[in-house]
Structure 1
Amino acid sequence: MTRHQKRSGVRRKSLTAVVALGTVAGAAFAGAASADAATWTTVAAGVSYRQYDLRGAAGTTHAHVLSVDLTNTHVRLGLLYPGAVASRAAVSSLANSQKAVAGINGDFFNISEAQHPGVAATGASVGPAIANGRALKGAVPDGQRFGPALPPGTNTKAVVGVGTDGRARVDSLSLTGTYATVGRRLPLGGVNQYALPENSVGAYTSDWGGVSRKRATCGTDTERAAACSTATYEVTLKKGKVVSTSTTPGSGVIAAGTTVLVGREAGAQRLKKLVKGQPVAVRYGLTSASKSAYGFAVGGYPLLSGGRSLTGLNNSVSAVRTAVGIGNGGKRVFLFALDGAAAYRKGLTVAEVAGALKSLGATEGFSLDGGGSSTLVARPSGATKVTVRNHPSDGYERPVSNGIGVFTK
């Protein structure tokens, strides 16, 4: 069993990541992209870029693709994020601050809270996240996710990432965590998540950020818009001991070496038994279904498996989308983003994106956040800053929770 574990009070370090770029016009064609339908431009050793037209059910759209050769030891993929889970920034800003060659946007995220007046949207992502081999957060309950309906048989634990063996994979990451005191070990229901399962206890660390933890106790496992829980409790641990308690979730930056436990319903009742000065040990990690260890991973949902589209992919709603394709046994990665300019904004269906990834040579495919979030950035030759290569459909870069990046030595 592979775990990316973290002990309460240990310093946590943020990760960097990016993707690569170029510029080239491709030919329009009907159906999914063929490998010779456009010219690839070299961005760096092991990284190339192209752009080309695609014709889907809703009309012509325009794709931007980065091809990353992971057999090249000078290239790596990683997570782009603002240094806090509950935070957002533009992809170009993330790439520049982390000295990335290029990047695309990542997971779906908690973008609004219209159903919960007075509760702040956190900006935190839906699925699990790993940065530099370190677990940042777990997945929210399926009913609490933002984004389109999941394909049948999939859930919020799905990730795409690169293992410590240097191969990219589509996988699933489950949280394994506990808090223990006086010889008793109890389960954690979440780590740095904008939504906790009902009746659970979640842990929040310095990776969370300063946003209020109130949102974590709102909604239910099946309904995101359900009311916030009235039975909550919060315990702050410093150096492994209880230093304070509260009946409501708080806010503010969590210092290194400090862990905040938030409970709802039955979880709140369990936390009320803890008293000031009591030692509490918190441990957690993310366990992969494939038993693989990951250098980085980001959430979304799968599209392709073994060269075949998943059953039940939506083939009726067209939109601007971002996705990842994996080929050559995990050694080739395609970072795919559609253009949001007015002429192309109708985009593709999820099923059409799966077909486009397959035509590029991918056997595994994974959907990331789309719409106004879809962004691909890269450095022009000789430049030190990235530029946006597609046209975000909002007319400007939308701040996002995370992304995938490509770094080159």
Structure 2
Amino acid sequence: MRLHKKLGIGALVCALSLQVFAFAPSVSLAADSKLTISSEEIITSGALVKKYVWSTTRNKTTVTANASVIEVDLTNPNVKLDAMSGSGSEFTKKATVLEMTKNSGAVAGINGDFYNTQAEGVPIGPQITEGEILSTTSNLSGMYAFGITKDNVPVVDQFTFTGSLKAADGASFPLKGVNTTYYYDDNKVFSHQDAIYMYTSAWTQNNRSNDGTTKPTEVLVQNGIITKIAVNGVIPMVAPEDGYILRASGKGTDYVVQHLKEGDPLISNYEMKAKDAWKQYDVNNFKMMIGGSTLLVDEGKAMSYFTRDIGGIDGYRYRSRTAIGYSKNLKTAYLITVDNSGSSKGVNMVELQQIMVQAGVWRGMVLDGGGSTQMVARPLGEFDSKLVNKVENNYQRKVANGVGVYTLAPQGEVKGLTLKGQDELFIGETSSYQMKGYDEYYNPIASFDGIVMNWSSSAALGTFEGNAFTATKSGKTKLTAKSGKGSATIDVDVIGRDQISAMKINAGDISLSEGQSYKLPIMVTTKSGITREVPPQLISWELQGIGGEIGKDGVLRVTNLSGSQSAQLIARYDGYSTILTMPIGQEQLWYDLDTTGVKTTASKYPAEVVSAVNTDASTGNKNLKITYDFTLGTGTKAAYADFNDKYGAPITGEPQYIKVKVQGDESMNWLRAEFSDAAGKTHMVDLTQNINWKGWQQLTANLTDYNMKYPITIKKIYVVSPEQGQDERALKGEVRFDDVTFVYKGKLPSLPYSKVKLTVNKKTGILNNKSITLEQAPIITSGNTMIPIRFVTEALGGTVKWDEKERKVTILRGDKLIELWIGKTDIVVNGDRVTAEVAPRIANDMTLVPLRIISEKLGWKVGWEPVGQVITLE
């Protein structure tokens, strides 16, 4: 059988157990387990993706897992399945499934076979791509493979390999496999011991399964003639297109030494066939094949045993899973993934069996799972595939191979049009919309260039400029694009104040420091549950307590702390406000050489680097100079200023930032500080990744980004030139540093204490034991006590503002910001919308507000004496 000229399959898969024999499932399945479809979408003619939710009971608790199934109609001439390789035609190079589909032109796909993580990352089982054998079977029991025959009939079965070599003197020797990675068989015997394997040009590595267990002998054969023999050695090249390289060991080497000579012909024959001799598959003409592990489903039922031990593939735990199978009528192939990510709790092998059965699988097997599980598909009208499932740890692993779905359809007539763009906008936000289309075969239309689109909005909520819509009012609208080919619409929700349930400033738990900048994203949650960041240019800001500005980029730049203990940052969007009160950081100078410091010495990496540290007082202010020469040596190079002879200096408390004054040398090198924490973990803190200046600058690093466990120790500050991009940096130079300061979290100031006593329907009251007179007495409305907000707020150390146009009252006290509107029960407290039982009202030109909700939100303690209807606030 001929081999594919270029083998392209890179895979990183969970380690495969090499134990065999059948094991009965030892885990039970809940009787109420159910697979429920939630959505489906066509990928291309003959293929669609369905989304399911699997629900079951574990330990008396209901859990769910998200499953995705690609169904492929094997009778449809416009679609095909094939095995994908890792990177284009490179069989021995790993890739993510998304990369595989892009490189091979597939419109959808899943990850494929298992592989030995200790070997080259090549699939354990067989692979046939485009009718060409890329690798042959292993000699492991219970391993199944999925294939498609020349007649497009799906097969899930076990396959075996037979082959032989015949020398010029007539001596023969078994050929054990083609492009096969090493493994240990079921008897713990090294697969390549006393054997000969063939490697073609598809195997694009010089290393042909050498792990040191056996000593290889290699033979180069070109056009059927032996051209080179390396006894107990390797031939340092990839096999040529017109030949192959044999890898022999033990008895295989004896055969080479005794029977093969350079210049002699050599005949090779081999084939893959069904392990069951009664099954006469024409494997030579299979369209595709991919290996897997245990058989899971047969005749539409879960197997009562596993054909291979599933312990080695984590089969009894709840993980992400991948499987493949076909329908009873042999007309549909199923590509299946189940997620273990977020609220989706993954499945074990027994649950996977039930999902496969309920999805329609008649016969099917498991593929590699866990961190390897990936499914991608091309959305309708799109050209690029996207990840369908949610991968474990939010990481798309590079895997050995995959199963791809390919469209064979010609270009057809336009069938449908869609609009793509944002369906939620903020007032003032602009979004561009694109027309997408698909033809009668559900493949994307290549281009809409030159087509004039007429745009309209069902409600006057914005304006168009070309295909860009700018929202000007809140509400819901339907955008429509029309052309000579038809029309398409998209529903758009313009979010305004009335749609917001919460608005927050996401700054993290930090303290402010003079001269620093802080990103302040504003997150809005709507009443419908959607959460989005508001474009920063749409936010208006008010700063109190500090000097600085917040630009259109949403970054606060602190210029002056004004002696304050805290700053109030108020953000407003469409009349909806929120507040963030931030403490001012407390700075402690740790190292300046004039008044304080620790013993500092030089070290370097690697040994060829030249470095020194010296105290420099030439400018009248002592500082530390690091001199370095990175001319010699290879790899990453560094010159260190070590504190306390590499033992480091302990830092008190829990600092949030480190500040260092640095004189740069325009070298483009990096400057770092090294810390160790209480857990013994080392942290490399970047002060800058580009020393591109001369003169002095202050650098700051946020230590909270590194998740250190306090207390911490600073070990060194150093100049480093990472290996990558080294040719762009200076090899020699000197950098000075001074005034190493740590910034600690500040404390918010305590609010002034006041005590107020009021009586319903009386204008007289008591403030801090002094008699007072109110312009408006407290009253009771609909069972709720209403109080004059201006007097009470100011009496307790707050401020009140009135907006006549909006008929809105704004209350600010400490870290509390409350907004309320006359006649409306909705109240906004620190960005959260709450509802009062009664609305604020005006009496005698005074604003009265419901006592209970306002007092609770401002943090007051409220007392009520029914006899006499006396109110106390403190």
What's the TM-score bracket when you normalise by the shorter of the two chains? 0.7 to 0.9
2:149 corresponds to 1:163: yes
Query: Which residues of 2 match residues 275-314 of structure 1 at below 5 A?
Result: 275-288=261-274, 289=276, 290-293=279-282, 294-301=286-293, 302-313=295-306
**Contact 2:126–2:145 (Cα < 8 Å) also in 1:** yes
Q: 1:339-366 CA deviation, whole Å, 9 max, x = no partner?
A: 242332x411112111111111111011
Partner in structure 1 of residue 180 of structure 2? 193
Partner in structure 2 of residue 204 of structure 1? 199
Q: In the alignment, which of 111, 125, 132 is matched to residue 134 of structure 1? A: 132
Supply the distance in 2 between the matched residues of 1:277 and 1:307 (Cα, whole angstroms).
56
Q: 1:211 to 1:264 in 2, by over 3 A?
A: same
**Contact 1:128–1:138 (Cα < 8 Å) also in 2:** yes
Q: Secondary structure at the match of 2:341?
A: coil
Partner in structure 2 of residue 316 of structure 1? 316
Q: In the alignment, which of 74, 88, 91 is matched to residue 94 of structure 2? A: 88
**Contact 1:140–1:197 (Cα < 8 Å) also in 2:** no
**Contact 2:8–2:92 (Cα < 8 Å) also in 1:** no
**Contact 1:212–1:250 (Cα < 8 Å) also in 2:** no
Supply the distance in 1 between the matched residues of 2:52 and 2:111 (Cα, whole angstroms).
19
Supply the distance in 1 between the matched residues of 2:94 and 2:54 (Cα, whole angstroms).
31
Shift of 1:96: 1.0
Partner in structure 2 of residue 257 of structure 1? 242
Supply the distance in 2 between the matched residues of 1:70 and 1:257 (Cα, whole angstroms).
35
Query: Which residues of 2 match residues 234-253 of structure 1 at below 5 A?
Result: 234-246=218-230, 247-253=232-238
**Contact 2:8–2:93 (Cα < 8 Å) also in 1:** no
Q: 1:295 to 1:283 in 2, by over 3 A?
A: same
Supply the distance in 1 between the matched residues of 2:219 and 2:238 (Cα, whole angstroms).
15
Shift of 1:192: 0.4
2:81 corresponds to 1:77: yes
Supply the distance in 2 between the matched residues of 1:264 and 1:135 (Cα, whole angstroms).
24
Supply the distance in 2 between the matched residues of 1:331 and 1:403 (Cα, whole angstroms).
21
2:367 corresponds to 1:335: no
Shift of 1:251: 4.9
Supply the distance in 1 between the matched residues of 2:54 and 2:4 (Cα, whole angstroms).
47
**Contact 1:32–1:352 (Cα < 8 Å) also in 2:** no
Partner in structure 2 of residue 23 of structure 1? none
Q: 1:214 to 1:365 in 2, by over 3 A?
A: closer
Shift of 1:30: 5.0
Q: Secondary structure at the match of 1:352?
A: helix
**Contact 1:242–1:276 (Cα < 8 Å) also in 2:** yes
Partner in structure 2 of residue 31 of structure 1? 33
Partner in structure 2 of residue 12 of structure 1? 5
**Contact 2:319–2:340 (Cα < 8 Å) also in 1:** no
Partner in structure 2 of residue 381 of structure 1? 380
Q: Look up the equivalent residue of 1:267 and give its one-letter code.
A: G
Structure having the higher Rg: 2
Q: In the alignment, which of 149, 152, 159 is matched to residue 173 of structure 1? A: 159
**Contact 2:179–2:199 (Cα < 8 Å) also in 1:** yes
Which is further off, 48-57 or 354-363?
48-57
Q: Secondary structure at the match of 1:316?
A: coil
Which is further off, 373-382 or 78-87?
78-87
Supply the distance in 2 between the matched residues of 1:394 and 1:282 (Cα, whole angstroms).
46
Shift of 1:56: 4.5
Supply the distance in 1 between the matched residues of 2:262 and 2:253 (Cα, whole angstroms).
16
Supply the distance in 2 between the matched residues of 1:30 and 1:337 (Cα, whole angstroms).
21
Q: 1:387 to 1:11 in 2, by over 3 A?
A: closer
Q: Secondary structure at the match of 1:269?
A: helix
Unaligned runs of 5+ in 1: 17-28, 114-120, 143-153, 219-226
Identity of aligned residues (%): 27
Q: Report the aligned-residue RMSD.
A: 2.3
Q: Secondary structure at the match of 1:95?
A: helix
Supply the distance in 1 between the matched residues of 2:161 and 2:73 (Cα, whole angstroms).
30
Partner in structure 2 of residue 104 of structure 1? 110
Q: 1:292 to 1:254 in 2, by over 3 A?
A: same
Q: Look up the equivalent residue of 2:205 and give its one-letter code.
A: G
Instruction: Give the strand-richer structure, 1 or 2.
Output: 2
Shift of 1:211: 4.7
Unaligned runs of 5+ in 2: 10-30, 183-190, 410-874
Supply the distance in 1 between the matched residues of 2:7 and 2:92 (Cα, whole angstroms).
13
**Contact 1:85–1:124 (Cα < 8 Å) also in 2:** yes
2:129 corresponds to 1:125: no
Shift of 1:329: 2.4
**Contact 2:32–2:57 (Cα < 8 Å) also in 1:** no
Supply the distance in 1 between the matched residues of 2:240 and 2:398 (Cα, whole angstroms).
25
Q: 1:255 to 1:67 in 2, by over 3 A?
A: same
Supply the distance in 2 between the matched residues of 1:57 and 1:136 (Cα, whole angstroms).
43
Instruction: Output the TM-score relative to the length of structure 2.
Output: 0.39
Q: 1:57 to 1:140 in 2, by over 3 A?
A: farther
Supply the distance in 2 between the matched residues of 1:342 and 1:211 (Cα, whole angstroms).
42
Partner in structure 2 of residue 149 of structure 1? none
**Contact 1:15–1:131 (Cα < 8 Å) also in 2:** no
Q: 1:267 to 1:395 in 2, by over 3 A?
A: same
